Structure 1
């Protein structure tokens, strides 16, 4: 991912020399247009997320229903992730330096929310599986209290990778390092080559497990959908499409893990091409997956969409009907 993924075959010296988007053979005007495009996309996504979060907070039904609670978690995770990556993007483009303790904090949150969204998507898939395949147990397994426990579990699971990687760095770094000023890139905290391989192995393992869970849920729901009838059939097929979209999001995240290897090969050929490839990876495999969540649960969900339309229109027509919720 742009400014986030580890380029395993590049040394820190090479990264420091080439880190600026305007360096090498890249046109400064092209780099400026790319920065402006990123700011526009991030701003649009953040505004949409904030609007959806605002809608979520205004109706009791949403914040007492597990799937909407998990949806709000993904919106918050994606918003924080986009905000932090954009800050790091701007700092590097304008060649600003920050103290390493602040950079470390940003990288820790970046690592946490890199995994928090796909793990939450997996939890949402399991919730759909229970709702469709185990409807009698849904009220018990997917209560508000269980949703809070689920959020804690999600963040615990998502924190394992950065605890492993950054604890190694913290143990070996000198105290003076944290007060030094430098460009903020996550590669600075990789002090051993095997750390990058460990990070890659953990990431691949996480995504493998999540893909297996989603695929299994997909086939279970599909089996129920084929045997259902009437309203249950419609609900089952709609849940099936939702799980399929979650699978597509995870696929983009999995491809994102392979991007550093492609980028490491490209940089040996042409640095300007490397910058363009890295920028493309950021747009397609970082921004794109995080704009799908609002579409899946914000616009495709009838109940949420009607509430969103009501608040966007500021109640110009009619107040929400009593039977809406």
Structure 2
């Protein structure tokens, strides 16, 4: 796409070395920071099995990977333009085509992430069968193949240019997508494909958003999940808008160049490069890293270079050892199974000092869902003891469950089969709904 590498080029030759060095430093520093954040986010998404085995995190990894590669190539082209380095046409073509490839991955991945949220809200019972790891990986591969075919078409269009008539393959200008439009057909194809790509992505994300909005009006839909999915899809639209903003970079610079001096234009060009091209590539890592409750603590831990206070580390290890000992002795799981259980974090609730004779509960976040369910299934071994194993819910959910427990008891006394799942009561397989008792379902 013609917009991605443009702000890296055409650096004013008239600038003094000091000014050029200052501009490049002010531009490169935030780029390096954003790049490091993305790399740490990629490491975080591969550090835990819960991320590697969850489809939406796999899609997020693909999105951030493409953004990171795009950021790296853009910065390379920018630094070469600052240093006034020209390249041969073949080398520039490889860099530009790779930049185009990674730039096209982002909007298509956003469409997949939107569809995943749509299925999770509108078809919750079929989500696990539709959105599988295998299907997700196949969809990602198809995206890369589709974008690679587009790059192949661009290369074939470039071959129509009579390179043999050139005295040298060395470029006279700095490497950028704009200077790789050697034929009018290439330029027209780029505009048509860019328009098709972003219009299709916009339609896909918008339709998913409308579907979730309509599903949220149904009484059987989880209102909290629908609200979160709606906010996520709005976020995808914003991300798509930022990706689209890079395509108008050239048009904005062209308009501004007619009203300001060249020295001012160079400054504006650098500002646009940071805020329209580089910053949007880092927003996915920042927004998801701070918004997702599962990613946030691990990302912050990695951003802090995995530094922890000695006291905290010791308490966490003691609590984890206590939990594993409890699972082995009281839940009677085999020792080999207990050794293989991985925790994301383990800690005790309450202050350091607890009332005399009252132990503080331990909260453990399992790294794998299957291991958590295996431990919970052994809860029958605690019958008649003072111990219990339960899921930890937010305060809002706990209040709802307190309301449902007496209702469940009444149904059981009548001979019905009543089961509470999170904040819902199912009686003989049917969802129990009552405006006075379960207002959160309306």
Which TM bucket (shorter chain)?
Answer: 0.7 to 0.9
Equivalent in the alignment of 2:253: 263
TM-score by length of 2: 0.64
CA distance in 1: counterparts of 2:84 and 2:108, whole angstroms: 34
**Quick check: 1:132 aligned with 2:132?**
no
Report the CA distance shift for 1:276/1:229 in structure 2 as closer, same or farther (over 3 A).
farther
CA distance in 2: counterparts of 1:202 and 1:2, whole angstroms: 11
CA distance in 2: counterparts of 1:142 and 1:64, whole angstroms: 12
Pick from 18, 40, 55: which aligns with 1:51? 40
**Quick check: 1:155 aligned with 2:149?**
no
State the shift of 1:294 in Å: 1.0
C-alpha contact 1:42 1:86 (8 A) present in aligned 2: yes
Equivalent in the alignment of 1:185: 176
CA distance in 1: counterparts of 2:25 and 2:209, whole angstroms: 39
Report which structure shows greater RCO (CA 8 Å, sep ≥6): 1
**Structure 1, unpaired ranges of 5+:** 8-14
**Quick check: 1:323 aligned with 2:313?**
no
Which secondary structure does the structure 2 equivalent of 1:172 belong to? coil
Report the CA distance shift for 1:166/1:233 in structure 2 as closer, same or farther (over 3 A).
same
Which secondary structure does the structure 2 equivalent of 1:181 belong to? coil
Report the CA distance shift for 1:44/1:165 in structure 2 as closer, same or farther (over 3 A).
same
Equivalent in the alignment of 2:57: 68
Equivalent in the alignment of 1:280: 271
Q: Which runs of 4+ in 1 moved over 6 A?
A: 175-179
State the shift of 1:154 in Å: 1.4
C-alpha contact 1:3 1:185 (8 A) present in aligned 2: no
**Quick check: 1:164 aligned with 2:164?**
no
C-alpha contact 1:97 1:184 (8 A) present in aligned 2: yes
C-alpha contact 2:243 2:280 (8 A) present in aligned 1: yes
Report the CA distance shift for 1:227/1:277 in structure 2 as closer, same or farther (over 3 A).
farther
More helix by share: 1
Pick from 271, 276, 285: which aligns with 1:294? 285
Equivalent in the alignment of 2:203: 212
* Larger deviation, residues 270-279 vs 194-203: 270-279
CA distance in 2: counterparts of 1:223 and 1:52, whole angstroms: 33
State the shift of 1:207 in Å: 0.4
State the shift of 1:191 in Å: 1.6
State the shift of 1:229 in Å: 8.0
1:2-41 matched pairs, under 5 angstroms? 4=4, 19-24=9-14, 29-41=18-30
**Quick check: 1:241 aligned with 2:231?**
yes
C-alpha contact 2:23 2:267 (8 A) present in aligned 1: no
C-alpha contact 1:2 1:281 (8 A) present in aligned 2: no
C-alpha contact 1:218 1:244 (8 A) present in aligned 2: yes
C-alpha contact 1:22 1:93 (8 A) present in aligned 2: no
Equivalent in the alignment of 2:244: 254
TM-score by length of 1: 0.85
CA distance in 1: counterparts of 2:53 and 2:192, whole angstroms: 37
Which secondary structure does the structure 2 equivalent of 1:302 belong to? coil
C-alpha contact 1:100 1:178 (8 A) present in aligned 2: no
State the shift of 1:145 in Å: 0.7
CA distance in 2: counterparts of 1:178 and 1:108, whole angstroms: 24
C-alpha contact 1:3 1:89 (8 A) present in aligned 2: no
Equivalent in the alignment of 1:200: 191
RMSD of Structure 2 on Structure 1 (CA): 2.9
Compare CA radii of gyration and give the structure with the larger one: 2
Report the CA distance shift for 1:290/1:221 in structure 2 as closer, same or farther (over 3 A).
same
